[in-house]
């Protein structure tokens, strides 16, 4: 299980480093690929030996999903030491992330087999349209958007309070490595929380306007930032944060308590 978890963290780290590279290209004048997980997969596919790397990434995504589901089933390190409500919230979060990375594994397999897949924005807009068509659909979409904003706020809070450090075996790190891990964790989680919060805000706006196309996935959220006042500079800052999260994933691959 430890090997499975660390393989999944490596796949996550590589994906976010590629997303950061695509986001930097957008900030500096545009990029053809989507600045999301789908865009990262497509970018890898276009490289020499890309198909072999995609197979490795698919296995990594599957490993990450399996690890998250195991945490949802039996709890992670220190399970039972915290309040029951907090432990079950962590299990629910692990269950959700398991489904997210299982979806990434499936998307990667589709690309490997030569089938096209849609970007996260297209998938989100399609799902939003279906929800808006349900009775009380707008209220449901707003509730989901609020939940995503809260989730982003929690991630930012984890960055500011450095609570992510409790998951790291810091006793195995040298002093310099500990400083790097803290800096990457703060920058990476902070940027991730901001982007997640913006995705939630756009989803709330889509529900308020009853327009599924107003919702935005990761790619369109980053492109919206790029077109804001001082957007190029802002996007470059976010890009650094996304790259930091990718590098932090590799720190977790080595030092996370699993």
Domain ranges of the chain: 2-255
Q: Is 81 exposed, middle or buried (0-12, 13-18, 19+ CB in 10 A)?
A: exposed
At 213 the pLDDT is: 79
Taking only the tens place, the pLDDT of each residue in 221-236 is: 777 877 778 778 888 8
Q: How far apart are CA 184 and CA 165, in angstroms?
A: 11
pLDDT of residue 26: 79
Q: What is the mean pLDDT of the chain?
A: 82
pLDDT tens-place string over residues 102-120: 887 887 888 778 776 666 6
Q: How far is CA 61 from CA 20, 101, 128, 196, in A?
A: 18, 5, 25, 20
5 pLDDT band (50/70/90 cuts)? confident
pLDDT band at 80 (very low <50, low <70, confident <90, very high): low
Contact 252, 20 (CB under 8 A): no
């Amino acid at each position: 299980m430890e090997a499975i978890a660390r393989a999944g963290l490596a796949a996550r780290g590589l994906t976010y480093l590629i997303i950061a590279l695509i986001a930097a290209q957008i900030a500096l004048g545009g990029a053809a690929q989507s600045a999301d997980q789908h865009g990262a997969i497509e970018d890898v596919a276009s490289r020499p030996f890309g198909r072999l790397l995609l197979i490795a990434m698919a296995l990594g995504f599957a490993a990450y999903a399996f690890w998250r589901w195991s945490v949802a089933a039996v709890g992670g390190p220190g399970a039972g030491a915290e309040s029951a409500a907090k432990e079950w919230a962590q299990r629910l979060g692990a269950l959700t992330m398991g489904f997210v990375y299982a979806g990434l594994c499936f998307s990667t397999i589709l690309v490997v087999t030569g089938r096209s897949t849609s970007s996260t924005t297209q998938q989100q807009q399609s799902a939003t349209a279906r929800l808006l068509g349900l009775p009380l659909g707008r209220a449901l979409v707003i509730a989901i958007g609020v939940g995503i904003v809260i989730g982003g706020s929690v991630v930012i809070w984890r960055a500011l309070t450095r609570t992510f450090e409790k998951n790291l075996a810091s006793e195995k790190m040298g002093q310099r490595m500990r400083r790097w891990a803290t800096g990457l964790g703060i920058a990476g989680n902070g940027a991730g929380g901001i982007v997640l919060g913006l995705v939630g805000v756009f989803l709330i706006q889509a529900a308020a306007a009853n327009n599924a196309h107003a919702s935005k996935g990761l790619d369109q959220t980053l492109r919206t930032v790029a077109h804001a006042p001082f957007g190029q500079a802002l996007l470059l800052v976010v890009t650094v944060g996304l790259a930091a999260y990718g590098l932090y994933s590799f720190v977790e691959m080595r030092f996370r308590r699993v």
